[in-house]
Chains A and B, each alone.
Chain A
């Protein structure tokens, strides 16, 4: 029974490549006021999100933020949510998962251990009553696309984690789903493979043009490959935007800290004659933008926005407490009037390292800071 499949994969790969899972007409995903509870626990609290056709979108958040639950709700798994989920303008809430044509790659890959790779990939086509010859063609094209052609007759248990991941992808895209949902797809891979795989994912997504949602708790993953991200916490979307946008102008302290390292300083904005200033409890004043609202607030300063003043003529003075060597840079914790600031300094060979206890002077590029009131 498996013979024809095997000979198919042996055929010229180039010829079959564009007959299989090819470009699909991208659809928009419109999530309107979606709420969901497990018993008494509210897991999603009125989510509103619009994902553009063909976009590579990320749900980014810590565990328990509701990101996986939202993804599963789009696929139709778990309890039926309140609100609307529109795929290409059509509300799918209440539709059975097998009638949605939504492609999902599971965190565990969920390859069926009793079927070969080829049978796994052919499954969805069998369900769609696709003729045998076409199925064979599309299966080999999909396996070709993920670089797994030579493993068609293997069983999942004979594959490495990365290979299983590729098969799971092939199995999903071969049916040409309307949207592609990836549930922490890289979390079970080792670090090097993860970097490689996320580039492959991006290429594949661009090639297919399919609207894709990628769930992850790793901000680096989301930042490197996604067009836009939705940062989630406690069942609420905290902020939506391009990765650089969200990083540069975090909407709140949670987002600031979840995306990279940040000094989040508490203080008060005071309007002074020489312009506005952000005043720390210690009395130190950092200049801030002219349109800043007066009153209590937080100032977000990235470690790279603070530098060591060369001649000791910086605006702040402090003492080095500790240092973390990060490779390309060294991250210092500097005590300034009872407050600890993180400061990054580029590291080059022979550039040395400041010692704990060393008195230093700091420059703050205050125009890079962001004021938040939450």
Chain B
């Protein structure tokens, strides 16, 4: 009896965490580390002999097409950062510096692009801004000019910057808000003001946030597959990788070489952002201090602000409006607006694409679930235990950020095509579950961030109190930690779910039959043909609504939970 009583807690303390860590390592090893290492290995292998070689890279850079693709990808990603900055800077500045009633609109609407993947809007943008799109038709009629917004690479840059600028806006606004007003007041007290003060104090303090946002935009654009594919721009790296693998086959080394380049650039961008942030935790807000002081606008300034903001927002919402018009329009070609309006596309979409929607809900839901389970496990192991190598769990999960979807897809195909499913004998790489796993691995960093943040907010004293009253580690986690983390977990789940629901680059590599395809893939199929555009747009609108609703719901849940917790902790609260 005494030995049994003694052994139980010992088991909980020492073996449990290692067991959990083991499962996490096994999962991430099999579905992240091994596939990526395989891709890198194949890139350096002679296709026939399997010996180490650099000849694949020589072949890559010897080809004009690949050199052009490489240059185009760098150019598009760089230009997208420039344009996205031009959109985000004024919005961030207006909302953090002035008492501007438009701030709420900006903060809300600026997130709208994120709930729709860029490739969905790409087709609608063709119709609005293309050579014969609404805007150019109007320009030609009234001014006799046209602007090649959507011509070739311009189109990709345009669509991508409109989609990804929120990353810069969010990060930049956050760093601006984290500047304590005393930073500015100290400068004013010493005689500084206006633009000079902005340049010397505010801008440098906001820089780390800007760099973080900008490098994220660079990498996202550099890796993106869907947008160039839909705009029919194939001379970029990600589309080339996809085309090589899907047309030449998984033994063609070029796809692997491109994957390596994509990984190198991802890591480089993350490194730049790390350098920008290192040792520069410029968050200076004090308890009870509050951020930068806001200024009231004069009437003229307010009008000017509104014009700039509305212009930007019109641009930002263009893909959504275009998609909406497309989904309700009968024929839309060589016209400013569609010829007539109909609900037929929605009917078609619902009847022929219902399978896609079901698959998406299932895949994204499962992926989100896997993410919060693994995310909670990692967060707990890192923050609350002292098992050896716990930091590496975190690094491993977060490293998924540096792995483009195309690369993960190629890796899965290469590693798991030869592995058969136990009962059916079907290759593992073509099973629908592999799509779920790919989505889960890709979105794990987001979910992990939510879980870690949620756990960090729980004082260890709450757990110690439970243990002091006789609860074991596992029971403490279940009865105290998880209930307190719920809002964070929901937020993590929804982030994973919403982004997984519209992800295309990994899924497009892994979908083996239309029956197993999720919504993003279905959209891609619809948008290929002129006749499919209407139903495709209807499907896109439905995707936006699903993702938007999910995001809104999670926001409400998180807010409610936070309010309840604040109310519950108020009596003991204070300092």
Contacts and interface: CB of A to CB of B under 8 A. Distances in A.
Interface string B200-214: 110011010000000
Contacts of A124: 190-192
A112 B183 contact: yes
B185 A104 contact: yes
A254 interface: no
Contacts of B201: 112
B550 to A, nearest CB: 38
B182 A110 contact: yes
B196 A127 contact: yes
Interface stretch (B276-284, B324-332, B351-359, B479-487): B276-284
A75 B279 contact: no
Interface in A58-78: 75-77
B183 A110 contact: yes
Given A113-B284, A114-B204, A114-B280, A175 B191 contact: yes
Interface string A80-105: 00000000000000001111111110
A128 B191 CA distance: 7
Given A106-B185, A113-B205, A98 B193 contact: yes
A97 B284 contact: no
Contacts of A107: 182, 286
B98 to A, nearest CB: 17
Contact of B190 (A111, A157, A171): A171
A127 B194 CA distance: 12
A140 interface: no
A101 B272 CA distance: 41
B186 interface: yes
B280 A98 contact: no
B282 to A, nearest CB: 5
A108 interface: yes
A97 B293 CA distance: 13
A172 interface: yes
Give the bracket for the number of chain A residues in contact with chain B: 20 to 34
Q: Pick the most buried of A101, A102, A103, A114: most chain B CB atoms within 10 A of its CB.
A: A114
Q: Pick the most buried of B188, B280, B289: most chain A CB atoms within 10 A of its CB.
A: B188
B189 A102 contact: yes
Interface in B8-62: none
B463 interface: no
Q: Pick the most buried of B186, B204, B207: most chain A CB atoms within 10 A of its CB.
A: B186
A360 to B, nearest CB: 39
Contact of B205 (A100, A103, A114): A114
A104 B182 CA distance: 10
B204 A96 contact: no
A175 B186 CA distance: 12
B566 interface: no
Nearest to B203: A114
Contacts of B191: 98-99, 101, 124, 127-128, 175
A331 to B, nearest CB: 27
A123 interface: yes
B224 interface: no
B203 to A, nearest CB: 10
B189 A103 contact: yes
B187 interface: yes
Interface string A111-145: 11110000000011001100000000000000000
A187 to B, nearest CB: 11
B503 interface: no
Contact of B189 (A97, A114, A157): A97
Interface string B260-299: 0000000000000000000111101010010001000000
B220 to A, nearest CB: 27
Nearest to A175: B190
A124 B281 CA distance: 24
B371 interface: no
A113 B183 CA distance: 9
B180 interface: yes
A112 B183 CA distance: 6
A108 B182 contact: yes
Nearest to B191: A127
A114 to B, nearest CB: 4
Contacts of B193: 96-98
Nearest to A106: B182
Given A113-B280, A123-B200, A98 B183 contact: no
Contacts of A99: 191
Q: Pick the most buried of B185, B192, B286: most chain A CB atoms within 10 A of its CB.
A: B185
A108 B96 CA distance: 22
A127 B200 CA distance: 10
Given A112-B183, A157-B279, A98 B188 contact: yes
A199 to B, nearest CB: 25
Contacts of B186: 104, 106, 110-112, 171
B182 A123 contact: no
Contacts of B197: 98
A206 to B, nearest CB: 23
Interface in B346-385: none
B133 to A, nearest CB: 45
Interface in B152-194: 180, 182-183, 185-193
B282 A77 contact: no
B189 A75 contact: yes
Contacts of A100: 189
Nearest to A101: B191
A87 to B, nearest CB: 13
Contacts of A110: 180, 182-183, 185-186, 284
B484 to A, nearest CB: 31
Contacts of A128: 191
Contacts of A175: 190-191
A127 B197 CA distance: 9
A104 B205 contact: no
A123 B204 CA distance: 14
A136 B293 CA distance: 32
A101 B284 CA distance: 25
Contacts of A77: 185, 188, 293
Interface string A245-265: 000000000000000000000
A77 B205 CA distance: 21
A113 B282 CA distance: 6
Contacts of B286: 107-108
Contacts of A111: 186
A127 B188 CA distance: 10
B238 to A, nearest CB: 37
Contact of A123 (B190, B279, B282, B289): B190
Contacts of B289: 108
A171 B192 CA distance: 13
Interface string B99-141: 0000000000000000000000000000000000000000000
Contact of A104 (B183, B189, B280, B284): B189
Contact of A127 (B190, B205, B281): B190
B326 to A, nearest CB: 48
A113 B279 CA distance: 10
Interface of B: 180, 182-183, 185-193, 196-197, 200-201, 204-205, 207, 279-282, 284, 286, 289, 293
Interface of A: 75-77, 96-104, 106-108, 110-114, 123-124, 127-128, 157, 171-172, 175
10 contacts: A77-B185, A97-B193, A98-B190, A98-B197, A110-B180, A110-B284, A112-B204, A113-B205, A114-B204, A175-B191
Given A101-B191, A157-B279, A171-B186, 15 more contacts: A96-B193, A97-B185, A98-B189, A98-B191, A98-B193, A108-B289, A110-B182, A110-B183, A112-B201, A113-B284, A114-B282, A124-B191, A124-B192, A157-B281, A172-B190
Q: Which 7 A-B pairs have the closest CB atoms?
A: A124-B190, A110-B182, A127-B191, A97-B188, A110-B186, A98-B193, A114-B204
